[in-house]
C-alpha cells in the first residue's frame, strides 16, 4: 500500500464519474516535494473546469500551484464546482461555499470562452479583481506542446500566478518569481527540474496579511 499524500486532503468533491480513477491515482501519489510543516492559513479555491481538463492533469497542476502557495505559508484547498445547472447536486461543498467571501474563484476556460476576453493569444489567463481568476487552457496546451513543456507544470504556474493577482490586487507584477508578467519557457523548464517559481517574502507577507484581515472582515478579496 502506498503511503498517504499529505496534500490529498486538500481536494474536495470530484464528481462521481472521476471518483475511482482519482482515488486510485491518489493511492500511489507520492509527495513531489519534501514535506514540511503545514501552513496555518487555509484558503479554499472554488474550481470550475469549463475546459474539461483531464483529471490527472488538473490534479498535478493543482499540486504545483498548491506547492507555490505552501511556500508562502498558505494552504490551498481545491473545491470542484459544477459547470452546468444539471451538475449542481453533485458538488454540495461548492454550493455551500457560494457567497462565502473566504474562498477564491478559479475558472479554467476553453478557447471558445477565452476568446471573449479579446486578449492577445500570448495571454494564458486573466484576473478580475474581487471576482475570479481565469486560465485559458488551450493556450496552455499550445505553449506546452510547442515548447515541449510539461502541461501540468505550465498550468500549475499560471493558476498560481492568477490566484496571486486576486490576493495581491492591482499592479502586482514583479521582476522576479511567480508574479513576473512574462513567464517564459525557461522558467517552466526549471520548474520541471524542481525549481518552482515562488512568491517573494514581501508578496507572501502581503497575502498572509490580506487573508488574516479578510477572515475578520469577511469581504471578498
Ligand atoms: Zn499577471
Encode pLDDT of 155-183 as tens digits.
999 999 999 999 999 889 999 999 999 88
Q: H or E element: which one contains 48?
A: strand 41-49
Q: Kindly give the distance from the C-alpha atom of residue 161 to the centroid of ligand 1, in angstroms, as a whole number.
A: 6
Structural domains in the chain? 40-214 (3.40.390.10)
Q: How many residues does the chain have?
A: 221
Higher pLDDT, 184 or 167: 167
Question: How many angstroms separate the alpha carbon of residue 2 from the centre of ligand 1?
Answer: 38
19 CA to middle of ligand 1, Å? Answer: 33
Q: Does 24 score more than 50 pLDDT?
A: no
Ligand 1 center–CA 90 separation, angstroms: 33
| pLDDT tens, position by position, 84-108 | 999 988 898 898 877 677 799 999 9
Is this model's pTM higher than 0.95 or not?
no
d(CA 109, CA 148): 22
H/E element, 81: strand 74-81
Cβ proximity of 118 and 37 under 8 Å: no
**What separation in Å is there between the alpha carbon of 173 and the centre of ligand 1?**
6
The rounded Å distance from CA 182 to ligand 1 centre is 8
Ranking 3-7, 29-33, 56-60, 216-220 by mean pLDDT, the lowest is 3-7
For 142, the enclosing helix (H) or strand (E) is helix 137-147
Q: Are 106 and 49 in contact (CB under 8 A)?
A: no
Amino acid at each position: 500500500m502506498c503511503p498517504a499524500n499529505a496534500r490529498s486532503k486538500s481536494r474536495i468533491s470530484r464528481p462521481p464519474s472521476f471518483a475511482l480513477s482519482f482515488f486510485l491515482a491518489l493511492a500511489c501519489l507520492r509527495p513531489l516535494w519534501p514535506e514540511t510543516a503545514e501552513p496555518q492559513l487555509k484558503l479554499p479555491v472554488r474550481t470550475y473546469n469549463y475546459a474539461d481538463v483531464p483529471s490527472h492533469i488538473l490534479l498535478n497542476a493543482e499540486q504545483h500551484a498548491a506547492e507555490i502557495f505552501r511556500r508562502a505559508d498558505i494552504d490551498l484547498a481545491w473545491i470542484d464546482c459544477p459547470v452546468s445547472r444539471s451538475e449542481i447536486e453533485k458538488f454540495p461543498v461548492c454550493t455551500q461555499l457560494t457567497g462565502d467571501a473566504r474562498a477564491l474563484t478559479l475558472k479554467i476556460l476553453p478557447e471558445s470562452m477565452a476568446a471573449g476576453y479579446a486578449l492577445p493569444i500570448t495571454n494564458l489567463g486573466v484576473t478580475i479583481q474581487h471576482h475570479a481568476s481565469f486560465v485559458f487552457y488551450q493556450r496552455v496546451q499550445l505553449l506546452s506542446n510547442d515548447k515541449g513543456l510539461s502541461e501540468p507544470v505550465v498550468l500549475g504556474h499560471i493558476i498560481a500566478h492568477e490566484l496571486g493577482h486576486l490576493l495581491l490586487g492591482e499592479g502586482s507584477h514583479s521582476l522576479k518569481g511567480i508574479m513576473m508578467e512574462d513567464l517564459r519557457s525557461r522558467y517552466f523548464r526549471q520548474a520541471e527540474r524542481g525549481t518552482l517559481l515562488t512568491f517573494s517574502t514581501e508578496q507572501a507577507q502581503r497575502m498572509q496579511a490580506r487573508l488574516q484581515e479578510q477572515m475578520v472582515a469577511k469581504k471578498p478579496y
